[in-house]
Amino acid sequence: MRSKRKATKMTIKKLHANKAIILRFISAITCDWPNSSKEVGLFEIRCLGDKKTPKSKRFSLDTIDEAVDFAILMNVKEYNIYMMINPIRMDAKIKASKAATDPDILRAHYSFADADDQAGLTGIIKLSELCEPDIVVTTGTVPHERRHAYWRLSDACTDLELWRSTQFNIATQFATDSRVINPSRIMRVAGTVSYPNTDKQRRGYISELVTMKEKVNGCH
């Protein structure tokens, strides 16, 4: 007699954004902004997706909760969620849904680097051994680890050409992403799900939750 095998269903756990981590990331990035002697500034959340219309929205520090909700809403729609790390001028003339650009930036509170390949990862680990980063964001682990690192500045840098030069030196000396030097640079938001495009999926990338780790005695 032929034995019948019972079909078993494999449960696939759907990834979801983590509200607490998103809030922690935005709060850490903006923690020094209120100390500015001039204007505090705005931050921008930018949403990008494969074959999707980009969406950008700016928020003040008293609307961080709204920014978190916006990030979660767009992440559910499979947008990748990014934040402009440097503060934007309050009076910047930016069209609705459009993104801020370099002239709109006030100052910088962090130096940061993006390692999206093995050479960059080796470099960022080496730099981290020389100077411990305040924030480490792991943007993915498959097919290989990708990482962002942030070093909090003791004083805000208003000379953005000097800041750009420092960013360039980091990227050059430690083989990290050479594009991460412009003042209006956006970086992936920790606590959101990363959705690789079709090309990356073919190369083995998968959707993953972006995680973060902060240095002890950091902003919080």
| Domain extent listing, the chain | 19-214
Q: Is the pLDDT of residue 1 over 50?
A: no
What is the structure's pLDDT at 38?
83
Contacts of 197 (CB under 8 A, 6+ apart): 50
Q: With bands split at pLDDT 50, 70 and 90, how would you rate the model's confidence at 12?
A: low
Amino acid (one-letter) located at 66: E
Torsion sign across C-alpha atoms 15, 17, 20, 26? positive
* CA nearest neighbour of 100 among 110, 113, 111, 87: 87
199-205: Cβ within 8 A, 24+ apart: 203/143, 204/142, 204/143, 205/140, 205/142, 205/143
- Six-digit token string for 94: 């930016």
pTM (2 d.p.):
0.92
**CATH architecture label of 19-214:** 2-Layer Sandwich (3.30)
Taking only the tens place, the pLDDT of each residue in 72-88 is 999 999 999 999 999 99
Q: Please give the Cα distance from 209 to 88 (Å, whole number).
A: 27
Measured CA to CA in angstroms, residue 163 lies from 105, 106, 110 at distances of: 12, 12, 9
